[in-house]
Amino acid sequence: MGRVFTILFTVIVFSNLYNAQEIQIFGELKPGSVVFVKGEEIQSVFLDDDSLTVDEGKYFVFGFDRDAEGSYLLKIKYNNGKVLLKKIDLPKRDYVIQKINNMKQSLVTAPEKENERVLAEREITKAARAKIGEVKEAMYKTGFVRPVKGGRISSIFGSQRILNGEPKSPHNGLDIAAPKGTPVYAMSDGIVRLSADLFYYAGNNIIIDHGQGLNSAYLHLSKKYVKEGDIVKKGEKIGEIGTTGRSTGPHLHWSVQWFNKRVDPAEILKVSFDKN
């Protein structure tokens, strides 16, 4: 009897120690996906050689680019010195081919006279994005909302695009078609890094920094209600759907990145931090 008790006691003590090492993973481990991790007493995290930011020893995020492949090693070091190693083998992911014909040729490739403008706009975006990663707080931990209520998904993430017969870079966002003026909401808490007017491709567009490298962009807007430096809440109205820039009709091009890794916005919507 005494021996059974001792064994039971040992198991409980061991599992209590082990509890500190448990992590909750939200999101799928696959290309074009963003993964959120919640734990306790975490001191540092590495994904291969990259050091990740941890908020309050509890929250961190990482993402895999559309074309990521192979294996990764996640290394979590706890305050008590213990280390958790998790090997991630990415599965293959196939993307659809999307052909769009009869597109205005000037929208497929910018005419030469617009080159300077396109380059200048790219520099503005790059400068705005340079601040991403500065926020160590996991502002996104309040969760996510779909930036448009209703609407029709008109183009999914990752599609290989062929515009007027010319192969173009893959579609890096999710398009939601809805009438002009439909409200657009911030997908999560964050800080506005860019609120730009009438870019050649992106039209009126907004970039929001959600902390730890996670960021979202909202393109082709007809109206914008935020400016750079504004702090926004999840579900806050930031603009309205339009068709400004390279766009064939009113829709939101919504994209999400972890630093410069392009991830699928549809994956974000599957994540709920409430489930336990």
In the numeric block, which tokens belong to residue 235? Answer: 């579900």
Residue 243 to residue 17: CA distance in whole angstroms:
56
Distances (CA, A) of 77 to 8, 51, 70, 86, 253: 28, 11, 23, 12, 38
Stretch in the footprint of Zn ion (CB under 5 A) among 146-154, 174-182, 190-198, 227-235: 174-182
Asked if residues 137 and 127 have their Cβ atoms less than 8 Å apart, the reply is no
Q: What is the DSSP letter of 242?
A: B
In the numeric block, which tokens belong to residue 130? Answer: 């340079």
Closer CB to Zn ion, 38 or 246, in the complex: 246
Closest CA relative to residue 220, chosen from 174, 189, 266: 174
Residue ranges of E strands in 66-159: 71-78, 83-89, 97-100, 152-155
For Zn ion, the binding residues in 233-262 under the rule CB under 5 A are 253
Question: How many CB atoms are located within 10 Å of the residue 126 CB?
Answer: 9
Residue nearest to Zn ion (CB): 253
Closer CB to Zn ion, 253 or 261, in the complex: 253
Q: Provide, rounded to whole angstroms, the least separation between the CB of residue 49 and Zn ion.
A: 33
Binding of Zn ion at residue 141 (CB under 5 A)?
no
Binding of Zn ion at residue 209 (CB under 5 A)?
no
Binding of Zn ion at residue 220 (CB under 5 A)?
no
Binding of Zn ion at residue 175 (CB under 5 A)?
yes
Q: Provide, rounded to whole angstroms, the least separation between the CB of residue 256 and Zn ion.
A: 12
Closer CB to Zn ion, 44 or 98, in the complex: 98
Q: What is the DSSP letter of 265?
A: H
Closer CB to Zn ion, 173 or 203, in the complex: 173
Asked if residues 241 and 252 have their Cβ atoms less than 8 Å apart, the reply is yes
For Zn ion, the binding residues in 28-47 under the rule CB under 5 A are none
Q: Provide, rounded to whole angstroms, the least separation between the CB of residue 38 and Zn ion.
A: 31
Q: Provide, rounded to whole angstroms, the least separation between the CB of residue 173 and Zn ion.
A: 5
Closer CB to Zn ion, 53 or 172, in the complex: 172
The alpha helices in the chain, defined as continuous H runs, are 2-19, 105-108, 115-129, 265-268
Size of the site for Zn ion (CB under 5 A): 3
Task: Kindly write out the interface string for residues 106-125 of this chain, putting x where it contacts Zn ion by CB under 5 A and - elsewhere.
Answer: --------------------
Residue ranges of E strands in 120-159: 152-155
Residues at the site binding Zn ion, with contacts judged by CB under 5 A: 173, 175, 253
